[in-house]
């Protein structure tokens, strides 16, 4: 089993994570012009977007961060819960935007984030949790218990 | 360009599509125990789950059906709009659960559904539209303008 380094925590994202989250996400892709106000607006939208599961209204968007011993977010990950008709009106978890700061590699933070999001989604009742990755990352996700399920196709204008 | 057969229409799903939608989705996978009441509850949840785009509150879930000349749903498809932090707080469209009744194959209904959902999502401002498919369907989605972007990984209990 993997364990967070001393002083590190895994928790839901909040407004005070703005700087560190933006910096961490830049490892992944272009973040672009996102101000503190825009960040807060997105977190507020995520918080308000609810899904009723077993009588409880829970957030459909679930972004978590791993913070270091200075409470700085150094890893991020989100699981979005989708409500379907198929599989008896089943739920599917979509894992999105997994990022780990470059100076924090080798501590298994990505692995712990994936395991947390996967368990979180299954605990909510998701019959499956899916994600898209590059060919190079297939081995990593297999070690996290994932199996190849298909091909991701993308359309951009 | 593809055209719907005479009398066929593409429109948003509604409660009266219950029987035909369930039957169409069975082409894809197990639908299981979904009553008219449960179906209506899901459509209601989808309708209420909104996202603010350019000041307008629009549904995040967008299920469309193609109906035949007897107004029977014979093809289905959904695009779910996800709000991200990356790409300037960008939007991504997730295409899900494309199904065409077995007795309606060869009429390009799947293709017209994909083109509609893709345009719909881009018109809302999505910087990309993604979907997962099997190896056999890659050629079909390439003809719809999609490119291979990655590998879908899945975790089931």
Read off the pLDDT of each residue in B53-60 and give the average, rounded to a whole number.
93
Which helix (H) or strand (E) element contains residue B83?
strand B73-83
pLDDT digits (tens, 9 = 90+) for A104-143: 999 999 999 999 999 999 999 999 999 999 999 999 999 9
Residue B2: predicted pLDDT: 85
| pLDDT of res. A2 | 85
Q: Contact B148/A148, CB-based, under 8 Å?
A: no
**CA-based nearest residue to A95, from A63, A142, A124, A52:** A63
As a 3-state breakdown, chain A gives helix, strand, coil percent values, each rounded to 5, of 35, 35, 30
Residue A4 backbone zone (phi > 0: left; psi -120 to 50: alpha; other: beta): beta
Sign of CA dihedral B53, B65, A132, A53: positive
Query: What's residue B58's pLDDT?
Result: 96
pLDDT digits (tens, 9 = 90+) for B14-52: 999 999 999 999 999 999 999 999 999 999 999 999 999
CATH of domain B9-143: 3.40.630.30
pLDDT digits (tens, 9 = 90+) for B104-116: 999 999 999 999 9
* Mutation for B interface: A17, A79, A86, most B CBs within 10 A: A86
What is the CB neighbour count within 10 angstroms for residue B52? 11
Indicate whether B1 pLDDT > 90. Answer: no
Contact A152 B148 (CB under 8 A): yes
Average pLDDT, whole number, for chain B? 97
Instruction: Give the Cα separation of B47 and B63 in Å (integer).
Output: 10
B142: nearest CA in chain A?
Answer: A153
Tokens at A28, concatenated: 């992944």
- Which residue positions in chain A have pLDDT lower than 70? 1
Nearest-CA residue of chain B relative to A81? B82
Cβ separation A86–B130 shorter than 8 A: no
Q: Which of A30, A45, A80 sits opposite B86 (nearest CB)?
A: A30
Domain ranges, ordered by start, for chain B: 9-143
């Amino acid at each position: 089993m993997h364990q967070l380094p001393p002083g590190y925590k895994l928790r839901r994202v909040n407004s005070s994570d703005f700087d560190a989250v933006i910096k961490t996400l830049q490892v992944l892709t272009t973040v672009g012009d996102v101000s503190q106000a825009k960040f807060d607006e997105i977190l507020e939208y995520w918080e308000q977007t609810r899904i009723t599961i077993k009588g409880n209204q829970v957030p459909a968007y679930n972004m978590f961060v791993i913070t270091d011993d200075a409470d700085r977010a150094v890893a991020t990950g989100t699981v979005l819960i989708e409500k379907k008709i198929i599989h008896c009106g089943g739920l599917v978890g979509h894992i999105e935007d997994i990022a780990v700061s470059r100076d924090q590699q080798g501590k298994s933070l990505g692995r712990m984030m994936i395991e947390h999001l996967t368990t979180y989604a299954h605990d909510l009742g998701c019959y499956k949790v899916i994600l898209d990755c590059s060919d190079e990352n297939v081995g990593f996700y297999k070690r996290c218990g994932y199996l190849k399920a298909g091909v991701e196709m993308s359309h951009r204008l």
